[in-house]
Amino acid sequence: MFGFLKKKEPAQLNETLYAVATGKLIPISEVNDPVFSQKMMGDGFAVLPETGDIYSPIEGEVLSVFQTKHAVGMKMANGLEILLHMGIDTVELNGEPFNIKVSEGSKVSQGTLIAKVDLESITSAGKAIDMVVVITNMDMVKSFKLNKTGQVTAGDEVGISQS
């Protein structure tokens, strides 16, 4: 009767996430930014890319492209929300290194080109190039498990959210 008083159980959301770039995949706990490494925004991973081609880690819809182009929010059909944050402290670069290839409302699949990023511009500004993927609504899942770390190719299966 009073269902709103019950603790909401996580839905069955066993969803695979994919590498956003070719490069070195690291657990989110190794990202050199406490907001990410301490999982304040959620769990996930990062790729230290070899090239500036950055792809979608999921199938879903683009919810938002940040004004400074350094981050893209996406949502899967099951409601799982993913943040792709390109670089560390790159908001300060006012969008310069980012050529975004999607817009709000765009449908994306794993492998859709999200952005072309000028990695040299980021590093010459003294910023890190970590491409961070975060599940921002972890209340919907019990855990996130990385299946691999180290060298990956864009599009490789790298982790699964588990309910």
Q: How many domains does the chain have?
A: 1
Domain harbouring 57, CATH code? 2.70.70.10
Does a structural domain hold residue 90? yes
Say yes or no to pLDDT of 6 above 50. Answer: no
Give tens-digit pLDDT for 81-109: 999 999 999 999 999 999 999 999 999 99
Q: Is 70 among the residues known to form the active site?
A: no
Mean pLDDT of the chain: 91
Contact by Cβ (8 Å): 55, 82: no
More confident residue, 128 or 10: 128
Sign of CA dihedral 43, 48, 52, 56: negative
Catalytic, out of 85, 93, 102, 131:
85
Give tens-digit pLDDT for 7-65: 444 444 458 899 999 999 999 999 999 999 999 999 999 999 999 999 999 999 999 99
Residues 120 and 48: their CA atoms lie apart, in Å, by 13
This prediction has a pTM of 0.90
Domain with 134, as residue range(s), is 21-157
Does a structural domain hold residue 116? yes
Does a structural domain hold residue 2? no
Residues 6 or more apart whose Cβ sits within 8 Å of residue 137: 42, 79, 80, 81
What does the block give as tokens for 138?
A: 């972890």
